Amino acid sequence: MSSINKVVLAYSGGLDTSVIVKWLQEEYNCEVVTYTADLGQGEEVEPARAKAEALGVKEIYIEDVREEFVRDFVYPMFRANTIYEGEYLLGTSIARPLIAKRLIEIANETGADAISHGATGKGNDQIRFELGAYALKPGVQVIAPWREWDLNSRESLLAYCEKHGIEIETKKGKSPYSMDANLLHISYEGDILEDPWAEAEEDMWRWSVSPENAPDKATYIDLTYEKGDITEVDGKAMTPAEVLAHLNEVGGANGIGRLDIVENRYVGMKSRGCYETPGGTIMLKAHRAIESITLDKEAAHLKDSVMPKYAELVYNGYWWSPERKALQALIDETQTYVNGVVRLKLYKGNVIVVGRKSEDTLFDESIATFEDDAGAYDQKDADGFIKLNALRLRIAAGKGRDLS
C-alpha cells in the first residue's frame, strides 16, 4: 500500500465515490485526483468540484466530453449496427473506454501511479475500466475498493460518512434503482427489477412517454448520412452530440426506445435491466435503411456476420484491443458510399422507414421493376443459375441421401 502515492479516481460526487476518496486517503495514505466526465447524463457535474474540495482533493478534473463520446465512440459503434444479444444497444458499455482513456491520460499528466473506480465486483464495469486501463498503460496499478473493503451496503457507507464527517446530499424522491445515464441511454437495475417477472413501474422511466400516451399524430424526420454518420436532421447541420440529443428528445416524445431485458454479464451471471435509448433506437433503424440501398450485398452480409463479435467486444470491455481495431477498419471501409437521406415516421413507440435516397444508391429501378425491363435482365439466365446452385443438392439426393 505504501507504494501508492497518487490515485486518479473516476468521481461522480455521489455516495460511493465520495466514500472512496476518503477511503483511499485513509487506507493508502495517498493523494487523490478526481475525474468527472459530462457524458450527457442530464445532471450538473460542476457540484462535484465543491464535494471533492471538501474532501481535501487539490487536483480536480471536470470535463464536457459529449462531442468526443458521440463522435469517437457512439458513431463508430453504430456504423456496425451493433446490438448485444439481439436487443441491447450498449449504452453503458460504450462510455467506459472513454473514461478509462481519460483516467490514464490524467494519471500521466499528474504523475499518478494508480487509478480507481467505484464499480462493484459483481458487474461488467470493473472489467471495462480495467481492461482499457491496462491496454493504454500496462504498468498502471488499479484500486477497486468494492473488491477490498467491507462496506458492502448503503447503511455501512452512510455510517462511514458519519464517522468521517463526509456530507452527503439526501435527495427527496430519490430513485430506488441503480441508474447510469449518458447521452446514448439511461439504465435501471435493482429494486423490483431483480424479479424478472415484475413489470417496471411507469414512473421509473425518465426520458420517454409510454407508447400508449404518445401523440396520436406521427412525427416525420429526415436524417442525412455521410460515410455512415448522421450529419443533418431535417436539413439542418448538427454535431454528433447535437444529433443524438435531438433524437433522444423527439424519440422520447413518441414513446420510442424503452427496453426490458435479461442479459448475460461477462462475469457469468444473468442480470435484468431496463433501458431507455430513444436516439439510438432511431439511429439503428435509419442506418440499416441507408445501407440497404448503398451497401453491396456481400459487404452487408459480411458486416452482419461480424457484428455479434464486435458487440461482444464492446460489451466485455475490449474496445482498446487489436481485434476491435481490426473489425473497425473493416466496418469503416464499408461506409465509404453510405451516403444519403432516410425518412422516418415515429409513431407510438415505432420507428418506421418510409423513404431512402442516395446519389450512391445501388438500387436500379430498371432492373428491379416488375414491368418490362427493356432487356436489362434476362430472366432465362435464372435457369442455369438455379441448376448450378442446386448441383450439390442433386448429387447428394442422387446418391440416396435423405435431405428431407
Please give the backbone phi and psi of residue 104, each rounded to the nearest 5 degrees, phi first: -70, -40
Alpha helices in 351-380 (DSSP H): 365-368
* E strands, 51-185, in order: 59-64, 114-116, 141-143, 178-181
Please tell me the distance from the alpha carbon of residue 52 to that of residue 59, in angstroms, as a whole number. 9
**What size, in residues, is the chain?**
404
Report domain 178-295+337-357's class. Answer: alpha beta
Q: What residues have CB less than 8 Å from 196, skipping those under 6 apart? A: 262, 272
Q: Which residues pair with 189 in a beta bridge?
A: 178
Catalytic sites, residue numbers: 16, 96, 125, 178
> Residue 154: what pLDDT?
85
**Domain spans of the chain, in order of start:** 6-66+91-164, 178-295+337-357
pTM of the model: 0.94
DSSP letters, 13-55, are SSHHHHHHHHHHHHHH--EEEEEEEESS-SS--THHHHHHHHT
Q: Side-chain half-sphere of 194: how many Cα atoms within 13 Å?
A: 5
- What kind of architecture, by CATH, is found in domain 6-66+91-164? 3-Layer(aba) Sandwich (3.40)
* E strands, 67-206, in order: 114-116, 141-143, 178-181, 186-189
Pairing verdict, β 229-233 and 219-226: antiparallel
Q: Which amino acid is at 32?
A: V
CA 281 to chain centre: 11
Are 107 and 8 a contacting pair, CB within 8 Å? yes
User: In the 3-class helix/strand/coil scheme, how is 209-245 assigned residue by residue?
Assistant: CCHHHCCCCCEEEEEEEECCEEEEECCEECCHHHHHH
86's grid cell: 439481439
Q: What is the largest CA-CA distance in the chain?
A: 86
DSSP assigned state of 88: B
Please give the backbone phi and psi of residue 62, each rounded to the nearest 5 degrees, phi first: -130, 125
3 state SS of 275? strand
What tens-digit pLDDT sequence spans the chain (404 residues)? 448 999 999 999 999 999 999 999 999 999 999 999 999 998 889 999 999 999 999 999 999 999 999 999 999 999 999 999 999 999 999 999 999 999 999 999 999 999 999 999 989 999 999 999 999 999 999 999 999 999 988 899 999 999 999 988 765 556 788 899 999 999 999 999 999 999 999 999 999 999 999 999 999 999 999 999 999 999 999 999 999 999 999 999 999 999 999 999 999 999 999 999 999 999 999 999 999 999 999 999 999 999 999 999 999 999 999 999 999 999 999 999 999 999 999 999 999 999 999 999 999 988 877 777 667 788 899 999 999 999 999 999 999 999 99
Please tell me the distance from the alpha carbon of residue 294 to that of residue 292, in angstroms, as a whole number. 6
Hunting for cell 450538473 — which residue is that? 44
End-to-end CA distance of the chain: 68
Please tell me the distance from the alpha carbon of residue 261 to that of residue 263, in angstroms, as a whole number. 6
> Residue 286: what pLDDT?
98
3 state SS of 84? strand
